[in-house]
Amino acid sequence: MKIRKSMIAASILAASLAGAYAAAANGGPQTMMAPPFARASPQESAALVASLRALHGNQGLDSDHGYVLAKEHPGQAGTRIARLHHTYKGVRVLGSDSVVVTDARGSILNVSASERRASLGQGSATALAGTPFIDVTPVIQAQAAIDAIVRATAPRGLHRHAPSAELVIHPIVTRIRAPGAETKPEAQLNALDLVEKIAGYELAWLVKTRMADGGKPVFRDAIVSAMDGRTLAQWNALQNVAGVGHSLYSGDVPIQTTYADGVYRMFDPSRGTGGYFGGMAVTDAAHSPFTAPRPGTIYTNAINVWGDGLPYNGGSTNGANGQTAAVDALWGLMNTYDALKNTQGWSSLDGLNTATYIAVHLGTNYDNAFYDPVCKCMYLGDGSAFKGLGSLDIIGHELGHGITDASSGLNFTGETGGLNESFSDINGEMVEAYAKNGGTGNAIPAGNDWMLGKDISPTGTPLRWMWKPSKDGVSRDVWSSTLGNIDPHYSSGPNNRMFYFLSQGSSATVGNEMHSSYLTQSPRNMSGIGNDKAYRIWFRANTLKFTASTNYADARNKMIQSANELYGINSKEAVAVTRAYAAVNVGADIAEGTPSEVIRNGSFESGATGWNSSANVIGTWSRQAAYEGSKCAFLGGKGSTNTGTLTQTFTIPADATVANLSFALHIDSAETSTRTAYDTLAVTVKSAAGTPLGTLATYSNLNKAAGYTIKSLSMLKYKGQTVTLSFASTEDSSLQTSFVVDKVALVP
């Protein structure tokens, strides 16, 4: 797969898009408009309300019951539609409304009401006025209700629109069987056999929050009691829909679409914002030439079932057969986004949650897929050499170029270009593994085939073999001084093999395709660390450490640094990185073995062995899973004034050249302040006699984050000393902050 960087093509593309937008701005096809609609005057609205009030005597309603105009729009044949909320003592009764049709003179033609001011289930006219316990003076104020919902749904979210809280009366609605249906078997019930009954009312706040949390919109409506702050009900206010896509490569898959104006669209605003279309999208390039690619329009369909699951036959690009390519594109795009976000905390391709799109059906004889850094999008061509280019690993590969483009910017030449291409190969394999194992969770599972492009090949012959790149006849298996002289698609080979060994391990059997003669230490078959850890290390190195000119040697060093930071100095993961690069002739091999660990029972799996702590600090907690294993240390989290401690005493060897303390830390907090540290965790060092020697770090509610982060702190200045490491938490009188510690390690 090739990355496209032609500025001439980019200019043509930009001009084409500008023309398309200009046409849209000029109106496009015109439709006949109805005569201008004039809203009712205040006098007309007041007259309408007076007419409705005149009917109260027949409904058992008194003067405390009123109406407020919510919206109005034109009806048929010159009529006007008014929608009014029902009120009690000036407060809206939630879900109780009237829709009133009037003629041009304001006369009422028809009234349709959802009347929840009376106990409809009993068929009586008992009104809300008959429930004197309803007090419309709130005890809980609006901001407190908003804060409660924000804390419960997205405490770290950013408000896309200002939150609101409306005082309402919340009817407590139950469903009962209608007369005559009391003894019907459940299987025989008809919708009309159940009726609503108002069991009571509660003064409440209707809270609406429109936030972005971790790159995804969190639009929540909630009902919060205005008397005691309980959440009575809540629901998602973002109206996305899940469709069914008949995929060529993944069977029937659930694809995220939206519904508007009577059609379904391959548009997903929950995965990215901004960008060309304002959200994730798949479009029909409609055979626009690859020399001047145009994205075309977003796919639409009358029903939310897409594609026929068959290879494209050259007919319509937007019929069922043409939609199949779009299904695969959207499925791959969704899984790439989710794999990045859920496992790496990386939002969209640029980490900034900028939405991207894929345009399918480019050209008519174009057997290629590419990522375009100008539009930051992807194109899938139409040709005859492949069954279709929308397999999970191909899409993950091309979108991987977008990640590199937004982060390290590895130059696409020489060894550096090989690393660029290798990152995309690796990304494609990890997206494939993620998607084929359900497309959920915060870890990359096993399950990919380690053969890039196997699915798209009519013969089943892949484009790359990750474990033995030279099987294609041109790629290299190991580094050599001439590696930088060949095409990046082939100089990627050694790094691809390195990653396979890092994840899956190697073979000690000479002649086996997974054998490396460069592994000379014990054991001759290195141990792998699995997809998830291998990808975390590789992703971290590319996005946080690689530069545009990183070569294989530099990549090895920065991969080892990443492993040390994630899993500890000289950890088995760091050793595996060293051995995996040694296996492709980058650096010397080392024995696996077990490094000398200073901290005892750093993962707490042996309970309190080696540790001194406050009561109920070390254990298994339902509120928080351990980083590894089943146990961890849980400090704070009480929401009241308290302190907690966790300590261990050890000696750092006098000849130590490094002494980095590493640990996994998760901070969760109900505090909402972005400025004040109300609750803290201090990591300090004391002498064996208890004399303070220094503070390594201090964390607080301001550092709260989803999941664990790996901390690395130097203790080299204390080498040759017996010291006590201390984790000490302090909480104030309200709003909990939890400090969860796991996998504490110090390897000299």
User: How confident is residue 243, by pLDDT bands cut at 50, 70 and 90?
Assistant: low
- pLDDT tens per residue across span 659-710: 878 888 999 999 998 889 999 999 999 998 889 999 999 999 988 887 887 7
DSSP string, 663-711: EEEEEEE----SS---SEEEEEEEETTS-EEEEEEEEEGGG--SS-EEE
Q: How many whole angstroms separate alpha carbon 569 and alpha carbon 254? A: 42
- pLDDT tens per residue across span 432-456: 999 998 899 999 999 999 999 999 9
Q: Higher-confidence residue: 628 or 589?
A: 589
How large is the average pLDDT for residues 504-512? 97
Choosing among 3.30.70.260, 2.60.120.260, 2.60.40.10, 3.40.50.720, the CATH entry for 612-747 is: 2.60.120.260
- pLDDT tens per residue across span 155-175: 888 886 789 999 999 988 887
CA quadruple 417, 419, 425, 426: dihedral, nearest 10? -160
Backbone region of residue 272 per phi and psi (left: phi > 0; alpha: psi in -120 to 50; beta: other values) = left
Token duo for residue 26: 């000029």
pLDDT at residue 118, rounded to an integer: 60
Alpha helices (runs of H) in 301-391, residue ranges in sequence order: 320-339
Are 692 and 684 contacting, i.e. CB atoms less than 8 angstroms apart? Answer: yes
User: How confident is residue 623, by pLDDT bands cut at 50, 70 and 90?
Assistant: confident
- pLDDT tens per residue across span 391-403: 999 999 999 999 9
Q: Is 540 helix (H, G, I), strand (E, B) or coil?
A: helix
Are 457 and 393 contacting, i.e. CB atoms less than 8 angstroms apart? Answer: no
pLDDT at residue 17, rounded to an integer: 27
The pair phi, psi for residue 273, each rounded to 5°, is -130, 165
pLDDT at residue 707, rounded to an integer: 80
User: How confident is residue 734, by pLDDT bands cut at 50, 70 and 90?
Assistant: very high
In sequence order, the 6+-apart residues with CB closer than 8 A to the CB of 21 are none
Picking from 97-111, 120-134, 205-219, 539-553, which range would have the lowest pLDDT averaged per residue?
A: 120-134
How large is the average pLDDT for residues 215-229? 81
User: How confident is residue 132, by pLDDT bands cut at 50, 70 and 90?
Assistant: very low
541-545, 638-642, 700-704 — which one is most confidently predicted on average? 638-642
In sequence order, the 6+-apart residues with CB closer than 8 A to the CB of 96 are 85, 86, 113, 114, 115, 116, 117, 171
Picking from 49-53, 468-472, 608-612, which range would have the lowest pLDDT averaged per residue?
A: 49-53
**pLDDT at 241 > cutoff 50:** no
**pLDDT at 15 > cutoff 50:** no
Average pLDDT, the chain: 85
59-63, 209-213, 484-488 — which one is most confidently predicted on average? 484-488
For the four alpha carbons of 533, 537, 543 and 544, in that order, the dihedral sign comes to positive
Domain 44-130: top CATH class: alpha beta
For the four alpha carbons of 179, 185, 188 and 191, in that order, the dihedral sign comes to positive
How large is the average pLDDT for residues 352-366? 93
Give the CA radius of gyration of the chain: 32
How large is the average pLDDT for residues 651-660? 79
**pLDDT at 80 > cutoff 50:** yes
Q: How many whole angstroms separate alpha carbon 208 and alpha carbon 576? A: 50
- pLDDT tens per residue across span 404-433: 988 888 888 889 999 999 999 999 999 999
**pLDDT at 621 > cutoff 70:** yes
pLDDT at residue 70, rounded to an integer: 82
Instruction: Examine domains 44-130 and 449-595 and report if their fold is the same.
Output: no
Picking from 186-195, 264-273, 732-741, which range would have the lowest pLDDT averaged per residue?
A: 186-195
pLDDT at residue 75, rounded to an integer: 56
User: How confident is residue 124, by pLDDT bands cut at 50, 70 and 90?
Assistant: very low
Each domain of the chain, given as residue ranges in start order, spans: 44-130, 142-176+192-236, 449-595, 612-747
CA nearest neighbour of 573 among 618, 540, 619: 540
Token duo for residue 471: 């099987």
Q: Higher-confidence residue: 710 or 251?
A: 251
* Second CATH level (architecture) for the domain 449-595: Orthogonal Bundle (1.10)
